[in-house]
C-alpha cells in the first residue's frame, strides 16, 4: 500500500510539475508574442505606448 501510494503521489507531482511547466511555457510564449505585437504597433503608430499614456496623466 505504501509503495503504491508513494508511486501515485510521485505521478501526481510529475503531472502537476509538467502542467506548471507547460503553462509557464505558454505564458512566456504568449507574453513574448504580445511584446512583439506591441513593439510592432508602437513602431507603426497604431497604438499608444502605455508609458506615454501614463506620463500624460
| Residue indicated by cell numbers 510564449 | 29
- Within 10 Å of residue 27's Cβ, how many Cβ atoms? 10
- Taking 80 as the threshold, does the pLDDT of residue 2 lie above it? no
Domain residue limits, the chain: 2-56
The predicted pLDDT at position 21 comes to 97
Dihedral, 43, 44, 46, 49 alpha carbons, nearest 10: 10
Q: Quickly state the pLDDT bin for 9 (edges 50, 70, 90).
A: confident
Rounded to an integer, what distance in angstroms lies between the CA atom of residue 39 and that of residue 2?
54
The predicted pLDDT at position 45 comes to 53
- Taking 90 as the threshold, does the pLDDT of residue 52 lie above it? no
Amino acid at each position: 500500500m505504501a509503495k503504491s501510494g508513494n508511486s501515485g503521489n510521485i505521478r501526481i507531482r510529475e503531472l502537476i510539475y509538467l502542467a506548471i511547466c507547460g503553462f509557464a511555457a505558454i505564458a512566456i510564449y504568449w507574453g513574448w508574442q504580445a511584446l512583439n505585437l506591441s513593439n510592432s504597433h508602437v513602431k507603426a503608430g497604431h497604438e499608444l505606448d502605455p508609458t506615454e499614456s501614463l506620463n500624460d496623466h
